[in-house]
Amino acid sequence: MTHKAKPLAGWRVLVPRGGRWGDTVAATLRGYGAIPVIAPLINFASADDAQTLANAFYELQDGQFDWLVVTSATTVDVLAGQSVIVPPSTKIAAVGETTAAALAVAGYQVEFIPEGDNSARGLLKEWPTTPITGRVLVPQSDIAEPTLVSGLADLGIDVQFVSAYRTVGVPIAQHVAADVASGRIGAVLVTSGSVARQVAKQLSPLPDGTIVACIGPRTAFDARAAGLRVDVIAESRSADALVDALVEHVSNSVDANGTEHDGTEETPEDPR
């Protein structure tokens, strides 16, 4: 990798999520010289079936589940927002370090995180219980793929899925869409299959020179399935790994071509 202090100088990078995550990623990008454009493409809403969710959380707090599997920080927000207390008899598994960190901040103790692949497949591969017994609760988005739930069921586990929240698309601001179409935004971060589908729906076709950077192989697979060209794949599902992968890609491209990115205008960050 190049030793240039600001390898993303002049690059405008689309950050597709707002809130604490978006602010953190934007700050990291600025540290590399980039101009982050925070433009949330998805948001989260309450589950349609609130009573079913309430019943599942009642059983959880009553100690009727041996494991709680958490796959996103958004699920953590739902648990904390409803003041769910997980009893000591129930172990908590997190699909990755980011989700585990969110659980810790919310006061939940994590028992298990897969060491290799931070994904549903990684969690299934390293699932720790032997023999496999007991009930498992998996609260996820309403559009979550069935990989985890079906995989646990295939292992002979009594697993219950419950919709904890809905994932909804957010219309992108017209001036941001225009900047993407014109090539003024040089890179787009893709953080989930939901984001990939919104990028494809709202921003395709992307200019040939626009870099699409995905947070992990699974997201890259979903992005390609949505019709996007994938240029960068982070090795792990973390914000730092995603930005690092983009930095490495840009730095290697500069080293190979001997030229810098020419979009160096210092325009203010677009409003959310």
The CATH number covering residue 91 comes to: 3.40.50.10090
Q: Residue 225 in contact with residue 244, Cβ under 8 Å?
A: no
Judgement on whether residues 127 and 235 belong to the same structural domain of the protein: no
Please give the helix or strand (H or E) that residue 17 lies within, else none.
Answer: none
| pLDDT per residue as tens digits for the range 227-261 | 999 999 998 878 899 999 999 999 998 655 555 54
Q: Is residue 97 part of a domain?
A: yes
Q: Kindly state the helix (H) or strand (E) to which residue 14 belongs, with its residue range.
A: strand 12-15
Residue 169, phi then psi, degrees to nearest 5: -75, 150
Half-sphere exposure of residue 141: CA atoms within 13 angstroms, side-chain side: 18
Domain hosting 135: range is 46-167
pLDDT tens sequence across 31-87: 999 999 999 999 999 999 999 999 999 999 999 999 999 999 899 999 999 999 999
- One domain, residues 174 and 219: yes
Number of domains in the chain: 2
Q: Are residue 150 and residue 76 in the same domain, yes or no?
A: yes
Does a structural domain hold residue 271?
A: no
Q: How many CB atoms lie within 10 A of CB 263?
A: 16
Tokens standing for residue 132: 């496999």
Residue 93 counted as domain residue:
yes
- Give how far Cα 242 sits from Cα of 25, 81, 213, 232, Å: 9, 28, 7, 8
Q: Is residue 235 part of a domain?
A: yes
Q: Which of 142, 167, 192 is the last residue of a domain?
A: 167
On whether residue 3 sits in a domain, the answer given is no
| Rounded-to-integer distance, Cα 42 and Cα 40, Å | 6
Residue type at 121? R
Residues 56, 162 share a domain: yes
Tell me which residue of 5, 7, 12, 8 sits closest to 267, measured CA to CA: 12
Which amino acid is located at 51 in the chain? Answer: Q
Bond prior to 131 in cis (omega within 30° of 0): yes
Let me know whether 117 and 53 are in one domain. Answer: yes
Q: What is the pLDDT of residues 80-138, one digit of tens each?
A: 999 999 999 999 999 988 889 899 999 999 999 988 777 788 888 888 765 556 899 99
